Amino acid sequence: MLASYDFFAPQRIVFGWGRRTELGTLAKSLGSRAFVVSGSRTLESNGTLDELCRLLTDSGVAVDRLATQTREPEVRDVDAATARIREIGTREGDLLIAIGGGSAIDLAKAVSAMATNTHGNSVQDFLEGVGRGLKIDLAPLPLLAMPTTAGTGTEATKNAVISSYEPPFKKSLRSDLMIPKILLVDPELTLSLPRDITAYTGMDAITQLIESLISRRAKPIPRALCWQGLELALPAMFKLSCDLKHRASREAMSHAALLSGIALANSGLGFAHGVAASLGIHAKVPHGLACAVMLPSALQINRDVAAKGLTQLGRQCDQWLLGEQKWPSDGRACSDDVALMRLQDVIHSLNQVFHIPSRLSELGVTREQLPALAKGSRGNSMDGNPCDVSDDKLLAILEQVW
């Protein structure tokens, strides 16, 4: 018997190479004035953002460039953009458009909610675990999300991750009402990504797909999406490690990232993401990089309780990577231990080809920070991990990785 479940997904997904030209028509279906949040200086400098804004105005949608967000959004960023939108004043037909990576999309999601839910003094009042427990009661302004990276999947989730450094935290603003109305995913926009961002965002997507697959909250539809996402992402990342312009791999990663967002919105995450959030706050380690460094540890600690999913994944890697890497395979079923080792080898090899460090000390983390890192790793992501991780065990793992 199947357990009962709910499933959340965006109302409309528009996916395809070059489909950014449809932005104006899609935005017009949501409203007549767009507040634009962008996240890429490259898109500004090469004229792409101007081109997209022209598409909006040509379709009869007025444009107000609200903010440019190039780092993970903080409470002050959300509050400042919200204050500006409220100063301008909202009206019927307003919408938000996010054009950028996860940081820009998270900022836009938070502002769209805060623009209509005015019963708090700050977005912090609504954040999980640190605020006043206020809820998003009113529908946010309609949001069209247009990712320019392939990793976070936040274009398809019902939360926005917001940070603070005084006091230090990274928490979610969460509501079923926050799922964007339209996703416009054009993989061509990821062609300008440099090697490091390609690596970090790609490993973020892979970590999300694996953790959602084995999460203690895993559900049937998201699990199926995780399998397809991993089948696309693992070969694509190896290809991109030697050819950043490879179109099929860019398309594969954009689609895999989208699937990872839908999966995590429904099934949650796990250990690697719990620690990654803490690394972002206490050591300012880029999120995807932190996920990549912690993923091997996540696989190791969950190898017993999530053995069925992980061993199956290890065996599938032989088929998916045939021709990309010379993984040993003689056509016979391998043991569970060998399958788990192959999966670990694949992740280790991906980190190696992208020159991702294996130790926290290489990221600038000091040993004195480890207790605070362990304490800050608790939250929604860690709660979804397949096995329970005690405080002592968590600190011991961080010591091993340091």
Q: Going by C-beta distance under 8 Å and a sequence separation of 6 or more, which residues neighbour residue 46? A: 192
**Of the candidates 153, 160, 158, 209, which has an alpha carbon nearest to the alpha carbon of residue 185?**
153
CATH code of the domain made up of 193-401: 1.20.1090.10
In this predicted structure, what is the pLDDT of residue 232? 97
Give the domain ranges of the chain.
Answer: 12-188, 193-401
Distance CA 231, CA 258 (A): 14
- Number of Cβ within 10 Å of residue 364's Cβ equals 11
Residue range 12-188, CATH number: 3.40.50.1970
Parallel, antiparallel, or unpaired: how do β-strands 94-100 and 33-38 relate?
parallel
Burial class of 49 by CB neighbour count within 10 A (0 to 12, 13 to 18, 19+): buried
Q: How far apart are the C-alpha atoms of 258 and 262, rounded to whole Å?
A: 7
In this structure, are strands 12-15 and 182-185 parallel, antiparallel, or unpaired? parallel
CA distances from 247 to 20, 188, 192, 251 (A): 16, 8, 12, 6
Classify 222 in phi/psi space as left (phi over 0), alpha (psi -120 to 50) or beta: alpha
Tell me the C-alpha distance between 136 and 128, whole Å.
Answer: 12
Q: Do the Cβ atoms of 396 and 301 come closer than 8 Å?
A: no
Return the number of other C-beta atoms located less than 10 Å from residue 170's C-beta. 23
Say how far residue 252 (Cα) sits from the centre of its chain: 16
Tens of pLDDT along the chain (402 residues) come to: 788 999 989 999 999 999 999 999 999 999 999 999 999 778 888 889 999 999 999 999 999 999 999 889 999 999 999 999 999 999 999 999 999 999 999 999 999 999 999 999 999 999 998 989 999 999 999 999 999 999 999 999 999 999 999 889 999 999 999 999 999 999 999 999 999 999 999 999 999 999 999 999 999 999 999 999 999 999 999 999 999 999 999 999 999 999 999 999 999 999 999 999 999 999 999 999 999 999 999 999 999 999 999 999 999 998 898 754 444 444 446 788 888 999 999 999 999 999 999 999 999 999 999 999 999 999 889 999 999 999 999 999 999 999
Q: What is the pLDDT of residue 327?
A: 45
Which element (helix H / strand E) includes 365?
A: none
pTM above 0.85, yes or no: yes
Closest residue by Cα to residue 206 from 183, 237, 185, 184: 237
User: Omega of the bond prior to 167 within 30 degrees of 0, cis?
Assistant: yes
Query: 323: phi > 0 → left, psi -120 to 50 → alpha, else beta; which?
Result: left
Alpha carbons 365 and 369: distance in angstroms, whole number: 7
Cα–Cα separations (whole angstroms), residue 30 to 269, 291, 396, 399: 31, 35, 50, 50
Q: Where are the beta strands (DSSP E) in 213-320?
A: none
